[in-house]
A and B are shown apart, each in its own frame.
Chain A
Amino acid sequence: MSVLAIIEHDRGTLTSASLGVLTAARNLAQQMNTTMEALTIGANADALRSVAAQYGATVVHQAHHDALTDFGPEAWGEAAAQIITSLSPQLVMGSGTERGHEVVAQIAARLDLPASMNCTEFDSSFDGTQPLKVVRARWGGSLLEQAEVDAPIKIVTLANHTVEPTEAPTTSTTNVIDVQLDASVLHSIVRDRVERVAGVTLATASVVVSGGRGVGSAEAFAPLEELAALLGGVVGCSRAVTNNGWRNHTDQVGQTGTRIAPDIYIACGISGAIQHWVGAMASKNILAINLDQEANIVTKSGYAVIGDLHKVVPAVSAEIRRRRGV
């Protein structure tokens, strides 16, 4: 009887989402009056036992197998499934990341149990015996779902960034388990890795400087290019721009283009039509530079400058160069 937290790592390096999982799993265990235990997969993650202990895991299970040298969704899932079968925890929690979802899906599939992904809330009266009521994110968080998981072992992932990690150090024991893996689950282990090289894409850039109809021409994008380069970002555009043939469709931000999530989105001369907004709304911050202070983008943005982008944008670049002393 326990709550089992699955620790996500990459070649032994902890991913930040795991801390939230440990914290949330521990809170649930408390509420259920049981213990929180943790699971690491692969010997290369053994060192993470101390982190697990720091966050309150009373037992850290370590799945070992010679083939577990790198991530492999099926191998990880099979390893975890075997351990879960033997431990019979009341609840299993993974991280709400791409890998976390995949491993948890593999576990649930192998145990033929339901799984509830991206949970944001858990029933505070859950004691481990009844079906688990959760709130989970749908539509990338645009909508929430109240759901119920009815199974002997509740399997969930925790939506990322919903729980602030807090430490609760405890003494923990380590339990090394050698798992048996059939060759069929070993195909999907990472075979090779191409380390990230310089250069950012629209989808991954931390800064996007985007232009709309107000830019006026293909040539007039030059100052936007300059500003993006100064900030290590990329240039995007609205549908009106691609329709006018000023830029390629690959630069288009929006429902029919790319959906972006930069740290800051600088929208220049963009009215903020809804189809564009849908692509940009996940940005952490939005700065609109627009002549019209009633423009949609202005009223929806966190920050705005009212003015002619053709004057404002070069002035920003100049200010950046000045501060950098170049």
Chain B
Amino acid sequence: MSEFPSRAKCVVIGAGIVGNCLVGHLSKLGWTDMVLIDKGPLPNPGGSTGHASNFIFPTDHNKEMALLTLASQKQYIDMGMNGTCGGIEVARTPERLEEFNRRMTSAKAWGIDSKLLTPAEIKELVPFVNEKILLGGFYTPSVSVVDSLQTGTLMRESAVKAGHAKVFANTEVLDLEVVNGTIKAVVTNKGRIEAEYVVVACGVWSPRIAQMAGANIPLTPAVHQMADVGPIDVLQKTNAEVAFPIIRDMDTFCYERQSTGSMEVGSYAHRAIFMHPDDIPSNEASALSPTELPLTQDDFDPQMEQAIELMEMLGDAEIKYAINGLLSLTPDAMPVLGETVEVRNLWSAAAVWIKEGPGIAQLVAEWMTYGYPHLCDPHSSDISRFYPHEKTDHHIYARCDEHFNKTYGIVHPREQWGTQRDMRRSPFYPREEAAGATFFDARGWERPQWFASNAKLVDKFKDQCEPRESEWDGRWWSPITNAEHLQMRESVGMVDLTAFNEFDFTGPGVVQFLQYMCVNNVDVPVGRSVYTPLLTPGGGFRGDLTIMRLGNEHFRVITGAFDGGRDKYWFTKYMPQDGSVVFTDMSGALCTIGVWGPNAEKTMAKATQNINAEGKLVPFDVSQANFPYGSVRDVLIDGVPATMFRISYVGENGWEVYTKMEHGLRMWDSIAKAGEEFEIIPVGMGVYAVTGRIEKGYRLMGAELESEYNPVEAGLNRAKVKSADFIGKAEYLKARDEKPAAIMCTLEIIDHTSKAGIKRYPTGGNEPILTKNGERIVDSKGRVSRVTTAGAAPSLGKYLLLAYLTPEHAVEGNELRVMYMNELFPVRVARVGSQPLFDPTDSRMKS
């Protein structure tokens, strides 16, 4: 056994599916000096990989997860580690059958061959199921079982054979050394090793290891129960690892997977059982392995009854092996990937399951090599997404407890969390509550989605408030949103935007720094603003935000509730270390009200004052002449110092009005009072984030804007490119010279009527845009056309979809299809590029 090195370019901790594949991929990308360590023995160090059931059902509603899973499956296939057996999700309830239509739609989007089965057809494929209790199935022939241990071994060996990695098993990490906020060394029981990069790929132990460096990887080890029962004749006779399709009994949250002569029964139906990483027993003290804990039988008994109901033969099979297996759960059920926010060059590759392991390893390897992944945008897996309150055990346990039983659940795209609510309230909350707000959760913020107090407006605008005949389409939605929208466009509305993040950057180096971060020129006059994308080194979207220049050396970045963590990390990562730029997170100090509509100017004219040159309090001139679009002014609102920013995300004249949290309620009341005569109403996020936005074709980070797409494709490129260098500039210039492979378009649904004769309204969950013949549209870079946002456009009397289309299809008037719930609906390309459908010249905003 080779001598333990004292130095390496990169140390990967954890030799499970992720760590092994990561050294393999890094080796391919040119990393030549790596060390892989694990505290357990090889090839099975005792983590979750060792007891995984190792099957892959590729269809996922989430794009990121679907792409990572498909990429992983391809790698398993390429290594000869993928055994195709097919898989059937079976339905016992009508709701589940309907969900299968949705799954057919997602399968279509990702190009996965799937079909719906009748109970009799299920029986044909799997003769031992009791089809009498089933209503149907969702069959995917490409479902497979993989050998994750052997895959890991091959990937690890490929790096070792290339001379790029050394491997040390039975090597326990005792400490991680950090110097000046950067990882320095890994201290193990075999010695200390200095490293430029360290990756924590320790599965359920990841939080414990990261903690040694003062970094936080928010996940919890959680129990997934499984039992191996057999031998069973019909399975033994097949003489194969898996001869029958794997059954997922979706309504009982249970699966049955053949394992040679026996059947593995696994469950996601039991109560959530968590364990702290520090409490996981050592390899030596474990009866089986550290992550194969004794089955708590009472939790599993209901599953056995349901399993026997589905497959009677299981009743007489012996329970040979049964465990409380540990796996990793995160508060939002997505992986935790990327450089930790606390420690430079300390990376996390955690909370990864077998089905997406190799793909995620590739993604992290690319991220470490290129500065951002190429495989897909890790937007929802990015470790920097978490806000501080989301990294606490309190939050992790509450959310994991809530979503564990949804592993096989039917989760609506707009579904709201029930736990960890009321974490963050704006100062306007009492007024909103009084107005009957339905609050949605925005990363801890309670944000009104619509107001019951506006219900009467539904009658006023009843022709433009489409009823949603399908319960699914109308779930987590209200026609009040349309009414609020129309009232705002008719007069004026106020929107609680407190969930915004405000980041202040000050100091002598601030212009140079922000120029480097942003695509557009930030060196504008004081009192002006910049809307700008942030790019990845590869020229894709990394962020999308506005910046106000408040002083010569003072800029304020405004970004949305869902990207605050990611953007904060991205800015601070690149900030100069010499003190020439100072960062202050103002998000908790400021609250914001959006005031928009034809009467916004009149409202704010009444509400605002300032102190003139003579020191006298006078009405403030809010006219476009004095206060043009895109500019920022300090005012007084009933004595409250506030900052007004003339901008709009809903296409109306008006402002974002900022003040300190403690002044908020008074400011709200002042504006409401000033707007009384114009029948000002509170307007919910249903308008701000969907209807108002989609009528204007405004793009949203994480939906239309992803690292896979560039500003040219999104239609957000400007006529000129600034001379200053910025991240992604070279790729951006290249993209400007090329014909875009895809163009962001707005589509309208021509006919909503389904086969059942009711009108359907796609929710905007990656529904594929298809040709009239029902074929997928895939661009030259392999990206599929799918709905990124869907929503009503009440002022246009349309229902709109945003989607990237290939140039061939991106032709206004072109008729296509959208698949929704496994049905095709005709759509028309209404707009190519970013010009809005509503008020195309933006005259309302600027007059």
| Inter-chain contact A299/B41, CB cutoff 8 Å | yes
Find chain B residues with CB under 8 A from A297 CB.
41
4 further interface pairs, Cβ-Cβ under 8 Å (given A245-B239, A256-B320, A294-B168): A255-B287, A271-B44, A274-B288, A292-B43
> How far is B170's CA from A299's CA once the two chains are assembled, in angstroms?
8
Across the interface, name the chain B residue whose C-beta is closest to A296. Answer: B41
Across the interface, name the chain A residue whose C-beta is closest to B320. Answer: A256
- Per the 8 Å Cβ criterion, residues 8-57 of A in contact with B are none
| Inter-chain contact A271/B260, CB cutoff 8 Å | no
Find chain A residues with CB under 8 A from B41 CB.
271-272, 294-297, 299-300
Q: How far is the CB of B670 from chain A (nearest CB, A)?
A: 69
Find chain B residues with CB under 8 A from A173 CB.
none
Find chain A residues with CB under 8 A from B289 CB.
273-274
The 23 listed contacts between A and B (C-beta, < 8 Å) are A243-B228, A243-B260, A243-B262, A244-B241, A255-B287, A255-B288, A256-B320, A256-B321, A271-B42, A272-B41, A273-B288, A273-B289, A274-B46, A274-B286, A274-B287, A274-B289, A294-B1, A294-B42, A295-B41, A295-B169, A296-B169, A297-B41, A300-B41
CB of B261 within 8 Å of the partner chain: yes
CB of A146 within 8 Å of the partner chain: no
> How far is B44's CA from A272's CA once the two chains are assembled, in angstroms?
9
Across the interface, name the chain B residue whose C-beta is closest to A306. Answer: B1
| Inter-chain contact A293/B287, CB cutoff 8 Å | no
Find chain A residues with CB under 8 A from B321 CB.
256
Q: How far is the CB of A13 from chain B (nearest CB, A)?
A: 41
| Inter-chain contact B169/A299, CB cutoff 8 Å | yes
Find chain B residues with CB under 8 A from A243 CB.
228, 259-262
Find chain B residues with CB under 8 A from A275 CB.
287-288
Please give the residue numbers on chain A whose beta carbons come within 8 Å of chain B beta carbons, in ascending order: 243-245, 255-256, 271-275, 278, 292-297, 299-300
Find chain B residues with CB under 8 A from A299 CB.
41, 169-170
> How far is B817's CA from A118's CA once the two chains are assembled, in angstroms?
81
Which of A245, A272, A274, A299 has most B Cβ within 10 Å? A274
Q: How far is the CB of B41 from chain A (nearest CB, A)?
A: 3
| Inter-chain contact B320/A244, CB cutoff 8 Å | no
Q: Given A294-B167, A299-B41, decide whether A274 and B239 contact each other with a Cβ distance below 8 A.
A: no
Find chain A residues with CB under 8 A from B259 CB.
243
| Inter-chain contact B169/A294, CB cutoff 8 Å | yes
Find chain B residues with CB under 8 A from A245 CB.
236, 239, 260-261
Find chain A residues with CB under 8 A from B167 CB.
294
Find chain A residues with CB under 8 A from B284 CB.
274
> How far is B104's CA from A195's CA once the two chains are assembled, in angstroms?
70
CB of B771 within 8 Å of the partner chain: no
Q: How far is the CB of A298 from chain B (nearest CB, A)?
A: 8
> How far is B288's CA from A275's CA once the two chains are assembled, in angstroms?
5
CB of B153 within 8 Å of the partner chain: yes
CB of B32 within 8 Å of the partner chain: no
> How far is B675's CA from A61's CA once the two chains are assembled, in angstroms?
114
Across the interface, name the chain A residue whose C-beta is closest to B241. Answer: A244
Interface size, chain B (Cβ < 8 Å): 29
Q: How far is the CB of A152 from chain B (nearest CB, A)?
A: 41
> How far is B259's CA from A191's CA once the two chains are assembled, in angstroms?
48
> How far is B259's CA from A243's CA once the two chains are assembled, in angstroms?
8
Find chain B residues with CB under 8 A from A300 CB.
41
> How far is B157's CA from A294's CA once the two chains are assembled, in angstroms?
12
Across the interface, name the chain A residue whose C-beta is closest to B147. Answer: A213
> How far is B1's CA from A278's CA once the two chains are assembled, in angstroms?
25
Across the interface, name the chain A residue whose C-beta is closest to B42. Answer: A294
Find chain A residues with CB under 8 A from B228 CB.
243
| Inter-chain contact B44/A273, CB cutoff 8 Å | yes
Find chain A residues with CB under 8 A from B320 CB.
256
Name the 7 nearest CB pairs between A and B, nearest first: A296-B41, A294-B169, A294-B42, A275-B288, A245-B260, A245-B261, A299-B170
Q: How far is the CB of A241 from chain B (nearest CB, A)?
A: 11
Q: How far is the CB of B647 from chain A (nearest CB, A)?
A: 59
- Per the 8 Å Cβ criterion, residues 173-219 of B in contact with A are none
> How far is B239's CA from A27's CA once the two chains are assembled, in angstroms?
62
> How far is B321's CA from A275's CA once the two chains are assembled, in angstroms?
11
Q: How far is the CB of A307 from chain B (nearest CB, A)?
A: 15
| Inter-chain contact A295/B43, CB cutoff 8 Å | yes
Across the interface, name the chain B residue whose C-beta is closest to A300. Answer: B41
Q: How far is the CB of B259 from chain A (nearest CB, A)?
A: 7
Q: How far is the CB of B42 from chain A (nearest CB, A)?
A: 4
Find chain A residues with CB under 8 A from B546 CB.
none
Across the interface, name the chain A residue whose C-beta is closest to B231. Answer: A245
> How far is B579's CA from A150's CA once the two chains are assembled, in angstroms?
76
> How far is B40's CA from A147's CA once the two chains are assembled, in angstroms?
35
> How far is B652's CA from A116's CA once the two chains are assembled, in angstroms?
91
Find chain B residues with CB under 8 A from A244 CB.
241, 260
CB of B283 within 8 Å of the partner chain: yes
Across the interface, name the chain A residue whose C-beta is closest to B38. Answer: A294
Which of A256, A293, A296 has most B Cβ within 10 Å? A296
Q: How far is the CB of B24 from chain A (nearest CB, A)?
A: 16
> How far is B416's CA from A296's CA once the two chains are assembled, in angstroms?
46
Across the interface, name the chain A residue whose C-beta is closest to B228. Answer: A243
Find chain A residues with CB under 8 A from B44 CB.
271, 273, 296
Find chain A residues with CB under 8 A from B169 CB.
294-296, 299
Q: Given A244-B260, A245-B261, decide whether A295 and B287 contact each other with a Cβ distance below 8 A.
A: no
> How far is B40's CA from A296's CA once the two chains are assembled, in angstroms?
8
> How far is B43's CA from A300's CA once the two chains are assembled, in angstroms?
14
> How far is B321's CA from A293's CA once the two chains are assembled, in angstroms?
29
Q: How far is the CB of B152 from chain A (nearest CB, A)?
A: 12
Which of B41, B283, B286, B287 has most A Cβ within 10 Å? B41
Q: How far is the CB of B117 from chain A (nearest CB, A)?
A: 29
- Per the 8 Å Cβ criterion, residues 23-50 of B in contact with A are 40-44, 46, 50
Across the interface, name the chain A residue whose C-beta is closest to B235. Answer: A245
Q: How far is the CB of A130 from chain B (nearest CB, A)?
A: 37
Q: Given A274-B283, A299-B170, decide whether A293 and B1 contact each other with a Cβ distance below 8 A.
A: yes
Across the interface, name the chain A residue whose C-beta is closest to B50. Answer: A273
Find chain A residues with CB under 8 A from B46 CB.
274
Q: How far is the CB of A308 from chain B (nearest CB, A)?
A: 14
> How far is B289's CA from A256's CA once the two chains are assembled, in angstroms?
14
Find chain A residues with CB under 8 A from B1 CB.
293-294
Which of B43, B46, B236, B289 has most A Cβ within 10 Å? B43
Find chain B residues with CB under 8 A from A293 CB.
1
Find chain A residues with CB under 8 A from B43 CB.
271, 292, 295
Q: How far is the CB of B693 from chain A (nearest CB, A)?
A: 55
Across the interface, name the chain B residue whose C-beta is closest to A244. Answer: B260
Q: How far is the CB of A66 from chain B (nearest CB, A)?
A: 51
Across the interface, name the chain B residue whose C-beta is closest to A294. Answer: B169
| Inter-chain contact A292/B287, CB cutoff 8 Å | no
> How far is B345's CA from A145's CA once the two chains are assembled, in angstroms?
49
Find chain B residues with CB under 8 A from A295 CB.
41-43, 169
> How far is B262's CA from A274's CA once the two chains are assembled, in angstroms?
22
Q: How far is the CB of B551 from chain A (nearest CB, A)?
A: 59
Q: How far is the CB of B333 from chain A (nearest CB, A)?
A: 30
Across the interface, name the chain B residue whose C-beta is closest to A214. Answer: B43
> How far is B41's CA from A297's CA once the two chains are assembled, in angstroms?
8
> How far is B831's CA from A143's CA once the two chains are assembled, in angstroms?
77
Across the interface, name the chain A residue whose C-beta is closest to B290. Answer: A274
Q: How far is the CB of B166 from chain A (nearest CB, A)?
A: 11
Find chain A residues with CB under 8 A from B170 CB.
294, 296, 299
Across the interface, name the chain A residue whose C-beta is closest to B36. Answer: A294
> How far is B50's CA from A273's CA once the two chains are assembled, in angstroms?
10
- Per the 8 Å Cβ criterion, residues 450-475 of B in contact with A are none
Which of A243, A271, A297, A299 has most B Cβ within 10 Å? A243
Q: How far is the CB of B173 from chain A (nearest CB, A)?
A: 16
1/0 per residue, CB under 8 A from A, across B654-688: the answer is 00000000000000000000000000000000000
| Inter-chain contact B153/A292, CB cutoff 8 Å | yes
Find chain B residues with CB under 8 A from A272 CB.
41
> How far is B1's CA from A243's CA once the two chains are assembled, in angstroms?
32
Q: How far is the CB of B318 from chain A (nearest CB, A)?
A: 11
> How far is B277's CA from A154's CA once the two chains are assembled, in angstroms?
47
> How far is B168's CA from A320's CA once the two chains are assembled, in angstroms?
35
Across the interface, name the chain A residue whose C-beta is closest to B240. Answer: A245
